[in-house]
């Protein structure tokens, strides 16, 4: 029984730590990863793609960064309407598969999509004027209304880990990770992760019999997440080096808070690892001519 409890604890701790690492990388290095995803996945191939992009290609409405939200073609219903007349022989399921495939590839663009909501340019501008009164820029508003590749991956991973800890009834870890994901989702303006993380945090605090301890765990998660993302965002260089450095920063911050006596050792280990890869970087060329849409 003791062994089972110990193994379960170690599994939970390992999952929590990996969640922190991935969360920091996907948030702090979102722009780099979004460009990488766009280069590999966001490509057009056939008549169905041309049909969905036809309004933008003809009018350039919204520009490269906003047209997914204002051209009326990049929601599920808009894409279905656009591919309807590509071929008279297509079944509904063929049209649906072509529309969803295109939308998935567009979700890997830098600007991202919202498959459920679309605006006219005037509607979006009016909404942006209202948001401006609260200090929210048009770019921030667009980002909050759409999701791209890193936000999709980060959101799904975050939701999965929170569901895991919900089933284990581990209130401390659940509150810690919920707060961490809440901070990162606000930082990245991630519309997938934010509502779920907020809901889980509110619920675990409300249902906890030890609210003070649960709130302390939530505070720790918020501090680790916020500090790690802030530090990692300052790291430049090639994407793979930035990602390694982001993980190193996360480990260092986490240990500084959880195990201060071991923090120096972990920081030194992470620094040595980063130095090793930087020295090797001179002999490695990972850059290619990646072409993508926004």
Which of 125, 145, 165 marks a domain boundary?
145
The reply to whether 169 falls in a domain is yes
The answer to whether residue 150 scores a pLDDT higher than 50 is: yes
The phi, psi pair for 147, rounded to 5°, reads: -135, 145
Residues 128, 161, single domain; the answer is no
Report yes or no on whether pTM surpasses 0.85: no
Residue for token digits 């204002």?
70
What total of structural domains would you count in the chain?
2
Residues with Cβ within 8 Å of residue 241, at least 6 apart in sequence: 235, 274, 277, 278, 281
Tokens of 247: 């993980």
Express each pLDDT in 9-49 by its tens digit.
Answer: 566 667 777 777 777 777 877 887 888 888 888 888 899 99
The answer to whether residue 114 scores a pLDDT higher than 60 is: yes
Burial class (CB in 10 A: 0-12, 13-18, 19+), 278: middle
Predicted local confidence at residue 24, as pLDDT: 76
Residues 245, 101, single domain; the answer is no
The reply to whether 253 falls in a domain is yes
Residues 31, 173, single domain; the answer is yes
Whether the Cβ atoms of residue 208 and residue 171 lie closer than 8 Å to each other: yes
Predicted local confidence at residue 236, as pLDDT: 63
Instruction: Enumerate the β-bridge partners of residue 113.
Output: 147
Averaged pLDDT for residues 206-216: 90
Residue for token digits 């260092």?
252
Check residue 113 and report its DSSP letter: B
Domain containing residue 81: 43-107+113-145
Check residue 110 and report its DSSP letter: S
The answer to whether residue 285 scores a pLDDT higher than 60 is: no
Burial class (CB in 10 A: 0-12, 13-18, 19+), 184: buried
Check residue 117 and report its DSSP letter: -
Which of 145, 168, 203 marks a domain boundary?
145
Residues 128, 217, single domain; the answer is no
The answer to whether residue 293 scores a pLDDT higher than 50 is: yes
Residues 101, 133, single domain; the answer is yes
Residues 67, 162, single domain; the answer is no
The answer to whether residue 280 scores a pLDDT higher than 70 is: no
The reply to whether 102 falls in a domain is yes
Residues 129, 167, single domain; the answer is no
Residues 90, 180, single domain; the answer is no
Residues 124, 232, single domain; the answer is no
The reply to whether 290 falls in a domain is no
Instruction: Enumerate the β-bridge partners of residue 277.
Output: none
Whether the Cβ atoms of residue 179 and residue 219 lie closer than 8 Å to each other: yes
Residue for token digits 């779920």?
196
The reply to whether 294 falls in a domain is no
Residues 93, 153, single domain; the answer is no
The reply to whether 267 falls in a domain is yes
Predicted local confidence at residue 77, as pLDDT: 96
271-268-182-208 Cα dihedral, nearest 10 degrees: 160
d(CA 135, CA 140): 10
Predicted local confidence at residue 289, as pLDDT: 45
239-244-249-250 Cα dihedral, nearest 10 degrees: 100
The reply to whether 156 falls in a domain is yes
Residues 163, 132, single domain; the answer is no
The reply to whether 251 falls in a domain is yes
Residues 161, 249, single domain; the answer is yes
The answer to whether residue 286 scores a pLDDT higher than 50 is: no
């Amino acid at each position: 029984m003791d062994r089972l409890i110990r193994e379960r604890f170690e599994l939970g701790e390992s999952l929590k730590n990996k969640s922190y690492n991935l969360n920091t990388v996907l948030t702090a290095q979102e722009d780099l990863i979004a460009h990488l995803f766009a280069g590999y996945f966001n490509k057009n191939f056939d008549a169905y793609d041309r049909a969905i992009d036809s309004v933008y290609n003809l009018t350039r409405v919204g520009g490269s960064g906003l047209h997914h939200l204002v051209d009326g073609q990049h929601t599920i219903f808009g894409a279905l309407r656009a591919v309807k007349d590509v071929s008279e022989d297509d079944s509904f399921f063929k049209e649906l598969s072509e529309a969803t495939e295109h939308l998935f590839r567009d979700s890997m663009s830098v600007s991202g999509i919202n498959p459920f909501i679309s605006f006219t340019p005037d509607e979006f501008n009016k909404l942006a004027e209202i948001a401006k009164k609260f200090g929210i820029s048009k770019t921030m508003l667009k980002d909050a209304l759409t999701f791209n590749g890193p936000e999709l991956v980060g959101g799904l991973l975050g939701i999965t880990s929170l569901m895991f800890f919900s089933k284990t009834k581990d209130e401390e870890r659940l509150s810690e990770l919920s707060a961490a994901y809440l901070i990162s989702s606000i930082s990245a303006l991630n519309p997938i992760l934010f509502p779920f993380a907020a809901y889980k945090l509110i619920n675990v605090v409300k249902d906890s019999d030890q609210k003070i301890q649960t709130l302390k765990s939530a505070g720790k998660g918020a501090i680790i997440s916020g500090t790690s993302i802030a530090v990692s965002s300052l790291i430049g260089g090639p994407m793979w080096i930035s990602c390694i450095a982001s993980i190193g920063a996360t480990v260092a911050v986490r240990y500084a808070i959880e195990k201060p006596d071991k923090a120096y050792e972990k920081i030194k280990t992470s620094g040595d690892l980063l130095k090793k890869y930087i020295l090797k970087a001179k002999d490695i060329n990972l850059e290619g001519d990646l072409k993508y849409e926004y």
